[in-house]
Structures are given as structure tokens and as C-alpha cells.
Amino acid sequence: MSITSYIGRFAPSPSGPLHFGSLIAALGSYLRAHSQQGQWLVRIEDIDPPREVIGASDNILRTLDAYGLHWHGTVLFQHQRHQAYQNQIDELVANDNAYYCQCSRKIIQTSGGVYDGRCGRHQPRLTHGAIRIRNRVKTDSFVDQIQGHVIVDKHFAEEDFIIKRSDGLYAYQLAVVLDDAYQGITEVVRGCDLLESSCRQISMFSQLGLAQPSWLHLPLACTEKSFKLSKQNNAPAIDIIKPQASINAALAFLGQQTVDYDSVEVMLEQAIEQFNISTIPAKKEIVLSARNS
């Protein structure tokens, strides 16, 4: 298979085993990349050690292998990228594009629930606390390949958001943008739980002068309305002994034709051949039947 300029990725956090919702994101991004004759990368987003489960990273990679979801190149672990994150933060602070903030959640709640930028106006400048980007772009809408024209709350779009936490951990919004740029990701395929935060990432791509990917957000698998399958909600791990049924269930969820039971490699080949982006449901979530959940 020839490689085009398309580069996609699957970027799970090691907070537990892959569940059916994870499989939808993994399979959807894999099929999209391969249908474009592109590359599919795997990145382990391990920047939040308190949420990590020991052995989860290895378990995730073994599960992807069992499902035939083989990635190109080597796996990138975010913990390997700390210096790159810090270098970018240092540059932002030095150029007054980021600043320290000491506001607690309680303070923000009492001022209306949205951070008002007060620490960015503080004189003299604060020298410790969380670090917020001085959000100069304020993106409040974008076009998604599945969800169409997405518009977010104006106050959310304008907020100076955190890029390094007060406990010293790097924030997702910073890490994901720098890593997508570093890996040359041309399209982000993931679940709708991250739909709104895409606006913040678009703002950061623009502010840092980085090439922005296109966006494709898949519907979330929910056990009931607004209650998605997740590791935090103890969603059961997918079967790595007999993965065929889960693959077909994920294909059906994504509006794709199911494939003949065979080896996972043969099933995926057939799924790639008949992949059709236009049949993916343009919904933010889909409630699973009791039989499938």
C-alpha cells in the first residue's frame, strides 16, 4: 500500500483497558486513515499520572494488536515530550502570551463560572501557580467532517485556558496540539466528548503558527442519554480472545457494513474497502441497546 500525505492517530490515555467506546474511536480513525492510503499512528497520552492504571499502556497496545489494529512507526508516549511542552511554555511566558494564575475553582465560580482573565492583568506579574495562555484567537466555531458547523459558547471560546496545572502537570490542551503538530497529524478522528475543546485547540494552533488538522468527531457510545461508556464509569474491557463480534458491532455503530467472520486482518481489509464516511451517523451520541452494551 502506498503512503499518502494523510496522517491520522489514535491517542488513548492509560487510565484503564480499552472498552467498546474506545474501540469505536480506534476503529474509526484506523479505517479513515487506511481508506485514504495514509498512516495511522498511536500515541499514549500519559501526562496525568494520578489517573493512570499500572500496566494499562501495555494492555492497550496488546488489545490493538489482538484486533489487528497495527500502527505505523513507533508509539509516542507523552511523558517523553515534557521538555518540548516546557520549552513552548517558557517562550509563551517570555513573550507575554501566557501568565501565572492563582485563582481557585471557588473564585472562578463566584465570578460567574468562567475565568475572567484577572491574573493576566495583575501587576506585578505573578510568578507561581497554574499557567494560562493569553487567548488571542478566541475561536468559537469550526467545520467538522461529520458534525457539520460547530459553534461553542462565546465565553468558553474567549477564556484564557490552563496550559500547565498548579501541581506542575502539563494540560491536555497544550500537549495535544504540540504532539499533533510534531507528528504531522492531518486529520483528528475521535469522539464527540472532545468536540467543543477543538475550538481551544484550533485557537492554539493558530496562535502558535502551526498547521491545523481537519476534524472528524464520531458519535459517543452511551448506556443512556448523556452517559457515555468510559473507563471512569467502569465500562467493561473488550474481548481480546474473540474480537470478531466486537469489530462488527463497532462497524455497525459507525454506520458501516458488517464483514464476514474471519481473521481480524481479513475482516479489516474488507472493512477498509467498503468504508464510507457519509454513512457515519451525524449524531453526538448513540444510546446502545442492552444487547450491545
Give the annotated binding-site residues for ATP.
231
Strand order in the sheet with 162-164: 98-101, 130-133, 162-164
Beta-sheet strands, E only, within the chain = 7-10, 39-44, 76-77, 98-101, 130-133, 141-144, 148-151, 162-164, 187-191, 214-218, 220-224, 227-228, 285-287
Distance CA 24, CA 5 (A): 24
- List CB contacts of 262: < 8 A, sequence separation 6 or more: 244
Dist CA 241 CA 285 (whole Å): 28
Residues forming the annotated binding site?
Answer: 9-13, 45, 101, 103, 115, 119, 172, 190, 231
Enumerate the known binding-site residues for L-glutamate: 9-13, 45, 172, 190
Question: Binding site for Zn(2+): which residues?
Answer: 101, 103, 115, 119
